[in-house]
Amino acid sequence: MNGSLRNSKFVRTAVEIFRNTHVNFLITSCLILFFTYLTVLAAFGRNIIHPFTGDEPKVVNLTHPLAGVVDSNSLITSAFSIFFLLIISLCVGQLFDYMSLPPLFGCLLVGLLVKNITVLDEIFHVNPRWEWCIRTLALTVILVRCGIGLSWDYLKDAMGVTLSLGFITAAIESGAIALAAVFIFGWSASMALICGFVLTAVSPAVTVPVMLDLQSQGLGTRKGIPTLVLASATLDNIFCITAFSAATTIVFSTEPLAEVIAVTAAQVIIGAIAGLFFGWLLWWFPISYIDNSSVCRTLLLATVPSAAVLGGNVLGFPSAGIIAATLICFVAGIRWKTDNDDKIVYEEKAFALLWKLFFMPLLFALIGMKLDFSTVISALAAPS
């Protein structure tokens, strides 16, 4: 009895200490700085203990873009290329929006023209490291917006439908594409299955912003349709990425099947546990009544998921990072939507602006630069 009283007294004392505005702000600041440090380490592939050592980035996955040699001239050229790509893509995207066309189509067109006009292709160059960081951080912004945009009240009542749309339909679609590739195009079963997982994945860069826009307009919110689509699309992507990773490992490596299955399952479990824990941690840091709590929460949403996604990719466990990032934002959002009058309005606006002004133009411009017409034409002209 005395032991339980002492324990309860200790818990109350600890809670009072952590609820102190000065202590809470200090711990929140330390968390922001720590996860910023992890994000930078993952982006540059440095050792967590000795980040200054070594001339080249050190990463676990040697086929990763960070494993390449980078010179200073390449980085300078990349910086200016990214800057002008951003400006041009923003302008063209706004022009397309003015013409009632999707802005991302204009950004894609910019990248396509830059790649296929020889003069522009010689001028613009984006280093693979920088390109990988931009694409991965763009995915992180999408996951953050998706996670905080989910409504637990609607989701818990439609869990069965969400799981079936996210997993069962994705599995059936992947199988159908694989069968078509085998019987129509004569592909091998393994390559057909990999192709199925690639084509099945929903594009979160398109789905998430559209659903959030509908949700902000109040369309379909009474029945929770935006939440259902967001959650299903997220599960669809997690399933396809995890299955694709496992399939490519089985096909292109000599690792035993049992080991691949165990590693894949471990990624899912570790990602879920980490996401739930850090999401719960953000319930308490920062508390809603400290000064600039919305700014602190925005910075935490920018750094914690980024560290998870970038770190997971560098370590060779992309699924774990994506699962963790999504759950962190979702779990944190459950408390943040109820502990203050403004809910998460400022956080949602901050990431919507970040997506619209920076990551959306750059992401789709970089995607457009992947389409090289000369390669396509030569492949079509080659004798079969």
Q: List, for residues 169-224, the tens digit of each pLDDT value.
A: 889 999 999 999 999 988 888 889 899 998 888 888 888 888 888 888 887 777 77
- Per cent of the chain over pLDDT 70 is 90
- CB 42, CB 318: distance < 8 Å: no
Element (H, E) at 208: helix 204-216
Task: Report pLDDT for 241.
Answer: 85
The two three-digit tokens of residue 308, written as one number: 């998870």
Contact 366, 358 (CB under 8 A): no
Q: Which band of pLDDT confidence, cut at 50, 70 and 90, is reported for residue 54?
A: low
User: Which residues, at least 6 apart from 66, have a Cβ–Cβ distance to it below 8 Å?
Assistant: 44, 45, 57, 59, 129, 132, 314
pLDDT exceeds cutoff 60 at 49: yes
Instruction: Read off the pLDDT band of 365 (50, 70, 90).
Output: very high
Per-residue pLDDT for 65 more than 60? no
Which of the four pLDDT bands, split at 50, 70 and 90, describes residue 33?
very high
Q: Is the dihedral of CA 129, 132, 135, 137 positive or negative?
A: negative
Element housing 279 (H / E): helix 257-284
Residues 6+ apart with CB under 8 A from 157: 224
Which burial class, exposed, middle or buried, applies to 82 when counting CB atoms under 10 A from its CB (0-12, 13-18, 19+)? buried
Task: Report how far residue 91's alpha carbon sits from residue 212's, in angstroms, rounded to the nearest whole number.
Answer: 23
Q: How many residues does the chain have?
A: 384
Distance between CA atoms of residues 360 and 130, nearest Å:
15
pLDDT over threshold 70, residue 322: yes
Has residue 378 got a pLDDT over 70?
Answer: no
Give the per-residue pLDDT at 374.
Answer: 76
Give the lowest-confidence range in 38-52, 108-122, 358-372.
Answer: 38-52
* 21 CB-near residues (< 8 Å, 6+ apart): 287, 289, 290, 291
SS3 219: coil
| Interacting residues of 348 by C-beta distance below 8 A, sequence separation 6+ | 145, 148, 149, 212
Report pLDDT for 73.
62
Which of the four pLDDT bands, split at 50, 70 and 90, describes residue 83?
very high
Q: What are 231-245's pLDDT values in tens digits?
A: 888 888 888 888 888
Which tens digits make up the pLDDT trace of 207-222? Answer: 888 888 888 888 777 7
Average pLDDT over residues 71-76: 68
Average pLDDT, the chain: 84
Rounded to 5 degrees, φ, ψ at 99 are -90, 15
Strand segments, DSSP code E, in the chain are none
pLDDT at position 358 is 93
Helical pair 128-149 and 360-368, crossing angle rounded to 10 deg? 130
% residues pLDDT > 90 (the chain)? 37
